[in-house]
Amino acid sequence: MSKLVTIFGGSGFVGRYIARRMASAGWRVRVAVRRPNEAMHVKPYGVPGQVEPVFCNIRDDASVRAVTRGADAVVNCVGTFDRGGRNNFHAVQDEGATRIARIAAEEGVARLVHLSAIGADPESASIYARTKAAGEAGIAAHFPQAVILRPSVVFGAEDQFFNRFAGMARFSPVIPVVGGDTRFQPVHADDVAHAAAKAAMGAAEPGIYELGGPEVATFRELMKLMLRVIRRRRLIVGIPFGIASMMAAGMEFVETITFGLVPPQVTRDQVRSLRVDNVVSVGARTFADFGIEPVAMEAVLPDYLWRFRLAGQYEAIHESARNLKA
């Protein structure tokens, strides 16, 4: 019988890429999510019955144990940007990750792969980064042979980074940027999935790997690249951290008094995160240790950002027509 992998959050942005790669490698894939009926898009990744969404709440031991039992490998892709509620930073990224590692060890799972983030640091000013670090510590305590992947900002067709700002550029003459000089090393979702799949199949040594793409660029430079791809001219306006923090506090207050109906565009915790570069550390283990060469942004961005161009998929035809001589 083919081997079984349980992927927590396997229907999400990066998780679906991992599920596809594991299915292509012949594994049976159990996609553990809170709403299986909203994860049916993963079923065609394999032959009938090979990829199955199943219910799981990572805040509950019995639920995690039920989907972990019998698995040869476990991959945890669950993360959050929610500060409050039951599925907050601590519940998901610290306690949830630790619970998965503990139960995976108890159930005799051979391999565990965990998606963390560059910047995970117990001393960080950001709660997001501190809980990422706490989750890593919990995993190390219960499953020391785990592989932990720390990607920089992840891009791809379903991302909430380039898509978000490109959508803003369709209607606004201004692109506001907090931390315009902060450096990032964007990495394609499928490259992260490739590394995760290799680790789940035993092709990586235990430990922490930092995953970044071939290019390092500032936030402002990334916005310029995005605007070139969508063929639009917009004014990029840098917002000082102090002002951004006050704006974020106001947005969070509005969210509170509207009971979450008006979510903030940026939070104070995100502002804190943007003060620190998000690039691969010197001496860290990287894609090279997996034998993977990450893809460049410009090779992928046009494939999904074309819809934000003025003429959409017909922009190239319009540009060609403008070059015709009478």
For residue 67, give its domain range. Answer: 4-158+186-214+278-295
pLDDT for the residue numbered 325: 58
pLDDT of residue 93: 95
Tell me, yes or no, whether 257 lies in a domain: no
- For the domain that residue 203 is a member of, what is the CATH number? 3.40.50.720
Q: Are 144 and 114 in contact (CB under 8 A)?
A: no
Q: In sequence order, which residues have a C-beta less than 8 Å from that of residue 226 and are 6 or more positions away? A: 162, 165, 166, 169, 301, 305
Q: What is the pLDDT of residue 311?
A: 78
* Count: domains in the chain: 1
* 116 half-sphere exposure, CB direction, 13 A CA radius: 31
User: Residue 323: what pLDDT?
Assistant: 73
d(CA 323, CA 226): 23
For 199, residues 6+ apart whose C-beta sits below 8 A from its C-beta are: 111, 113, 147, 149, 290
Q: What's the distance, Cα to Cα, between the start and end of the chain in Å?
A: 67
Amino acid (1-letter code) at residue 53: P
Domain annotation covers residue 142: yes
94, part of any domain? yes
Instruction: Report d(CA 198, CA 195) in Å as an integer.
Output: 5
Q: What is the pLDDT of residue 313?
A: 75
Task: Report yes or no on 245 lying in a domain.
Answer: no
In a domain, 180, yes or no: no
Q: Which two tokens stand for residue 274?
A: 């943007």
In a domain, 83, yes or no: yes
Classify residue 104 by burial, with Cβ atoms within 10 Å: 0-12, 13-18, 19+.
buried
Taking the whole predicted model, whether its pTM rises above 0.85 is answered as yes
Identify the segments of the chain with pLDDT beneath 70: 1, 318-320, 325-326
User: In one letter, which amino acid is 190?
Assistant: D
| Distance, CA of 288 to CA of 285 (rounded, Å) | 8
Q: In the prediction, which pLDDT does 166 show?
A: 97
Q: Is residue 271 part of a domain?
A: no
Residue 31 resides in a domain: yes
Q: Which residues of 279-309 are buried (b: 16+ CB within 10 A; e: fewer)?
A: bbeeebbbbeebeeebbebeebbeebbbebb
Find out whether 268 and 245 touch, Cβ atoms under 8 Å.
yes
